[in-house]
Chain A
Amino acid sequence: GQQLNQSPQSMFIQEGEDVSMNCTSSSIFNTWLWYKQDPGEGPVLLIALYKAGELTSNGRLTAQFGITRKDSFLNISASIPSDVGIYFCAGQGAETSGSRLTFGEGTQLTVNP
């Protein structure tokens, strides 16, 4: 099925650094979601974006819904060791797909203390 292009695939950073990851699509989405998945656990919703141009924060996390509705980014400021995990973007509401999610390939984040 269709996937979003998510980059980078992996990141190795030092504690305290800022992180940025993004997703792009050839199709328009009505909703963009960012999930984090810890090893052996299910994805946990971090931020949901519903409107083109919307910029939303959740603690140290900030995400934006691109104006073209074809992209989104997630920033993490002042990273800490517990930020380690896989971050997935997901688009929703393309054409007639209802609440079906189209996932990016994921960004594996490693934070060195």
Chain B
Amino acid sequence: DAMVIQNPRYQVTQFGKPVTLSCSQTLNHNVMYWYQQKSSQAPKLLFHYYDKDFNNEADTPDNFQSRRPNTSFCFLDIRSPGLGDAAMYLCATSRDWLARDTQYFGPGTRLTVL
């Protein structure tokens, strides 16, 4: 059974048109993460939520926002997508924010910007 679910799997948007990606989890984990992954590169952390506390990485552009309305769901909002934002977006979860808490990834959403 899927534990970290991402919808949609493929998303096409137009340059400058806001887009929202969705992630849900059935693990009841406290922490949810959003990563951006470009071709042939490792995932890059954008931000994470510890429960309701939002933690932004220092180099994450303001164009990227996130919402976590409850434990199970987390959303990634891209306010004005540029061509450079085309990438795979990965959601992950972990039980807690401790050094031994394994991160489990979803299948990803492939974003295309036209």
Contact = CB atoms under 8 A, between A and B. Distances in A.
B20 to A, nearest CB: 19
Given A40-B108, A40-B110, A106 B40 contact: yes
Given A40-B110, A42-B90, A45-B104, A30 B45 contact: no
Contact of A41 (B99, B100, B102, B108): B108
B101 interface: yes
Of the four ranges (under 10, 10 to 19, 20 to 34, 35 or more), the interface on chain B belongs to 20 to 34
B99 A98 contact: yes
A31 B104 contact: no
A110 to B, nearest CB: 14
B45 A101 contact: yes
B100 A92 contact: yes
A106 B98 CA distance: 24
B36 interface: no
B48 to A, nearest CB: 8
B30 to A, nearest CB: 10
A99 B99 contact: yes
A27 B16 CA distance: 40
Contacts of A100: 45
A35 B41 CA distance: 14
A42 B100 contact: no
A101 B104 CA distance: 11
30 contacts: A1-B44, A1-B59, A30-B99, A30-B100, A31-B99, A31-B100, A33-B102, A40-B110, A41-B107, A42-B6, A42-B92, A43-B43, A43-B105, A44-B105, A45-B102, A45-B104, A88-B42, A92-B100, A93-B99, A97-B99, A98-B98, A98-B99, A99-B31, A99-B96, A99-B97, A99-B98, A99-B100, A99-B103, A101-B103, A105-B42
